[in-house]
């Protein structure tokens, strides 16, 4: 059987159609995944994210092992590492160091966009261009001129521009600090970050229209990030909840650890109850609280009767 990018993409799409954390019936998202060639955004040399027996991360070279490279591109749960130690480690062989850029796994990208739920014609800001793959999916949905993406690494930004042009996708790629967003006098309908933060930057909230949506990975005390979905009030504040446990690389300006208590997290949280958390961010800082448990209809009626 001949293995092609198209056949692997179709198989990956089938796999992600069978999981609750996949397309979940969003036909637009499945269509975008099938029509945007993920392989066009993956460098010829990437590192596998698990250590080999020698303790280093193996390099997958497209020119040496084209089948292995292509299969890795379309594994639903596999992220591929595109940069180590901010680019100081060359992709010339197995390596060790801190991951600083990647192309997220297909499953994570799809989950991120499913919760963002962009609409055609909307204005979208992406924080962390990386390879440009998520940017391309956003542009496929939003249409020409709808996507602005910010990348702090000038080399990554330049490569992403080239890849987007090569597949005919239109997006404005800005080289800059994503924590500052990109203010140009117009508010965004949706903002999505592909890098995690310890604290939601105020600039993001100030650049969202009233009712606009922010989806971003937020560092948690649980040893992983929580993907949060917040709705903006148009005055620099937003609130919402956690929607999924995820793992992303940190934005460069927030790599230094900080006490979670200083970031609005209460103590004594049960990791199993992450769905019960309410997240508020804005001018008064960041606050995470436990949402009260939902009352049953019977309990609600009893409470009303007691109040009479």
The residue with tokens 């040496």 is: 64
- SS3 label, residue 65: coil
How many Cβ atoms sit within 10 Å of the Cβ of residue 51? 12
CB contact at 8 A, 39 and 105: no
Number of Cβ within a 10 Å radius of residue 35: 12
CA distances from 71 to 11, 67, 122, 217, 243 (A): 11, 6, 34, 27, 29
| 77 burial type by CB count under 10 A (0-12 exposed, 13-18 middle, 19+ buried) | exposed
CB 293 within 8 A of CB 212: no
101 catalytically annotated? no
CA angle, 168 as apex, 165 and 173 as ends, to 5°? Answer: 45
104, 105, 193, 220: the active-site residue:
104
Q: Is 231 helix (H, G, I), strand (E, B) or coil?
A: strand
- What's the DSSP call for residue 36? S
Cα separation, 131 vs 162, in Å, equals 10
- Annotated active-site positions, please? 104
């Amino acid at each position: 059987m001949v293995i092609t990018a198209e056949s692997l993409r179709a198989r990956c799409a089938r796999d992600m159609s069978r999981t609750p954390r996949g397309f979940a019936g969003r036909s637009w998202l499945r269509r975008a995944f099938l029509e945007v060639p993920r392989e066009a955004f993956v460098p010829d040399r990437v590192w596998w994210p698990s250590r080999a027996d020698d303790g280093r991360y193996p390099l997958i070279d497209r020119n040496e092992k084209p089948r292995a490279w292509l299969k890795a591109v379309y594994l639903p749960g596999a992220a591929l590492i595109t940069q180590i130690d901010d680019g100081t480690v060359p992709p010339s062989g197995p390596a060790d160091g801190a991951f600083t850029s990647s192309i997220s796994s297909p499953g994570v990208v799809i989950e991120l966009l499913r919760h963002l739920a962009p609409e055609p014609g909307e204005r979208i800001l992406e924080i962390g261009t990386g390879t440009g793959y998520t940017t391309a999916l956003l542009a496929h949905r939003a249409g020409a001129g709808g996507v602005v993406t910010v990348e702090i690494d000038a080399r990554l930004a330049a490569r992403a521009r080239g890849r987007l042009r090569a597949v005919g996708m239109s997006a404005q790629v800005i080289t800059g600090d994503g924590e500052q967003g990109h203010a140009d006098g117009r508010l965004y309908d949706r903002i999505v970050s592909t890098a995690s933060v310890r604290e939601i930057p105020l600039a993001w909230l100030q650049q969202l229209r009233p009712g606009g949506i922010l989806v971003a990975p937020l560092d948690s005390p649980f040893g992983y990030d929580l993907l949060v979905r917040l709705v903006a009030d148009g005055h620099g504040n937003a609130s919402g909840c956690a929607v999924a446990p995820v793992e992303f690389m940190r934005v460069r300006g927030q790599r230094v650890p900080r006490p979670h208590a200083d970031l609005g997290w209460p103590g004594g949280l049960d990791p199993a109850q992450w769905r019960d958390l309410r997240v508020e961010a804005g001018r008064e800082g960041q606050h995470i609280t436990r949402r009260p448990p939902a009352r049953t209809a019977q309990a609600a009626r009893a409470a009303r009767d007691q109040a009479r």
